[in-house]
Amino acid sequence: MVCVLGVLVLLLLVNGPAPVRTSYPIWWSLAVGHQYSSLASQPILCSSIPGLVPKQLRFCRNYVEIMPSVAQGVKIGIQECQHQFRGRRWNCTTVNDNLAIFGPVLDRATRESAFVHAIASAGVAFAVTRACAEGSATICGCDNRRKGPPGEGWKWGGCSEDVDFGNMVSREFADARENRPDARSAMNRHNNEAGRTSIADHMYLKCKCHGLSGSCEVKTCWWSQPDFRVIGDYMKDKYDSASEMVVEKHRESRGWVETLRPRFTYFKPPTETDLVYYETSPNFCEPNPETGSFGTRDRACNLTSHGIDGCDLLCCGRGHNTRTEARKEKCHCIFHWCCYVSCQECTRIYDVHTCK
């Protein structure tokens, strides 16, 4: 036994840990677990980020000051994914103890994969753009080009967010490994771009009033990114209406190239803001280590909902258990002049339904 272990350790020392193979980026692991928590405290060593291709390594070294925003971007993307999918059979769970943070689920070219790629690449663009506007990096800043004439009752001021820079970072970094001539690479490229485009399409004019006691004598405005929730809601709609594609092989001078073509010609073809996929999702009802499904046993379901979060659909027809749970809550709150609120603590009894 000791001997076998010894050989194993030796092999690891000689070859390094076996590379993790996934159809999605391993560097996303920067966004979870201890790698993320150490970002703020320790200088980033680009060579220690797992799964970078040479182009990404160069990018990391050149732009090391924005790498924390890149990681932050993937994190807000994943958090948004977990919010959007919270009541669904697959709920965007990540595993912390593995570099492949989504397990095998995203190895298939499904709608779920399409969504996660789009929201992660949007997250990176968003977080980098925000960091630049907040002045936390020296190589980027505000966008002073898109000004135009001021409007009625307001003038330009503040810092317009420079989505082009954020998009450039997301494109150069997140898409760097998506240059293979295969179908999955084409799908990832398309969905990454769809995510980024959604930000530029939702920019709005944000204004602030200046003047005596909040009057709006002087108003200054700048271009701002929307709340990331807006992007999440929008991409969730795109998930629901994602376009199913089929893979086509062509022979080109550089060899075989796979491209994607819409499966159904009677639907309108996907635009650059639509999500595309070409493999069907598992139903995620039962645990299956091969597909990465956790199953829905013990998941909390909503008894009154007829949607996917309802007990019928979420539990895949297996039925549910009900127990009561006592929760302490604030109650009988009184506003005291001036200015605080005092509350009592009450215990309320809830019915909790979980899938069998």
CA distance 298 to 318: 11
Contacts of 243 (CB under 8 A, 6+ apart): 262, 263, 267, 269, 270, 274, 275, 276, 277
Nearer to ligand NAG, 152 or 351 (CB): 351
Considering the complex, what minimum distance in angstroms separates the CB of residue 129 from ligand NAG? 29
Nearer to ligand NAG, 90 or 222 (CB): 90
Nearest to 184 by CA among 258, 283, 242: 258
Considering the complex, what minimum distance in angstroms separates the CB of residue 39 from ligand NAG? 25
The Cα-based distances of 251 to 175, 186, 197 in angstroms read 24, 16, 31
Contacts of 28 (CB under 8 A, 6+ apart): 74, 78, 101, 102, 120
The Cα-based distances of 38 to 44, 77, 127, 140 in angstroms read 9, 19, 18, 24
Instruction: List interacting residues with ligand NAG (CB under 6 A).
Output: 86, 91, 93, 294, 299, 302, 304-305
Considering the complex, what minimum distance in angstroms separates the CB of residue 95 from ligand NAG? 10
Considering the complex, what minimum distance in angstroms separates the CB of residue 292 from ligand NAG? 11
Report, in this order, helix, strand and coil percent for the chain, each rounded to 5.
40, 20, 40
Considering the complex, what minimum distance in angstroms separates the CB of residue 89 from ligand NAG? 8
Considering the complex, what minimum distance in angstroms separates the CB of residue 289 from ligand NAG? 13
Nearer to ligand NAG, 85 or 234 (CB): 85
Nearer to ligand NAG, 220 or 305 (CB): 305
Phi and psi angles of residue 243, each rounded to the nearest 5 degrees, phi first:
-95, 130
Nearer to ligand NAG, 85 or 223 (CB): 85
Q: Quick one: residue 255, left, alpha or beta (phi over 0 = left, psi -120 to 50 = alpha)? A: left
Output the CA angle 89-93-98, nearest 5 degrees. 140
Nearer to ligand NAG, 84 or 191 (CB): 84
